[in-house]
Structure 1
């Protein structure tokens, strides 16, 4: 995994602060593969957020907090579907290939 322990802690802390203590986060994509270089930080987050407005707002707040704490980075955040939605293919890929932080 191509994140430092400090970066992992910043991500986990930020996710919990914004999305709630029960939120879970995975790193997926190229940063999971030690043989690759570069790439953005792809995060998959499961959180108890059901209202569409809250989901959009909290995702934006998390992105801003991570930018401030990690420095300018390319960060993609995928928020898991609610229990009322069908999971998207990207969510299945993130769960299968990602590493929980």
Structure 2
């Protein structure tokens, strides 16, 4: 996993703050592969339906923007229990829980 311990801690903390204590946060995409370099940070967040809102995503992005010096972070939010999209299945299959 190509995140520092501090980056992982900040992402997890911001997700819990924005989406609630039961949010599941996964890193997926190119940063999962230690054999590559570069790439944006892809984060998948699964939260309770009442917390998987646009407002919560905006809060999360604002917290990340304030706390991390990263040029690009892509965020995918999924409501727990909703029908899974291809990106949700990929993140669950290939991602690393933070």
Q: Do Structure 1 and Structure 2 share a fold, with TM-score over 0.5? A: yes
Please give the TM-score of this superposition, normalised by the length of structure 1: 0.89
Q: Give me the whole-angstrom Cα distance separating, in 2, the residues matched to 1:68 and 1:99.
A: 24
Structure 2 equivalent of residue 2 of structure 1: 2
Q: Give me the whole-angstrom Cα distance separating, in 2, the residues matched to 1:33 and 1:92.
A: 18
Q: Which runs of 5+ in 2 are unaligned?
A: none
**Does 1:71 pair with 2:75?**
no
- CA deviations over 1:11-54 (Å, ceiling 9, x no partner): 11111111111111000000000111111110010111337xx6
- CA deviations over 1:38-95 (Å, ceiling 9, x no partner): 11110010111337xx611111110111011012420111111442x32100000000
Q: Give me the whole-angstrom Cα distance separating, in 2, the residues matched to 1:72 and 1:9.
A: 14
Could you list the runs of 4 or more consecutive aligned residues of structure 1 that deviate by over 6 angstroms after TM superposition?
A: none
Size of the alignment, in residue pairs?
98
In structure 2, the CA distance between the partners of 1:22 and 1:81, relative to structure 1 (3 Å rule), is closer
Note the 1:1-101 alignment, pairs <5 A.
Answer: 1-50=1-50, 55-83=53-81, 85-101=82-98
Question: Does the 8 Å contact 1:15/1:25 carry over to 2?
Answer: yes
Q: Which runs of 5+ in 1 are unaligned?
A: none
Q: Give me the whole-angstrom Cα distance separating, in 1, the residues matched to 2:63 and 2:44.
A: 16
CA RMSD of aligned residues (A): 1.5
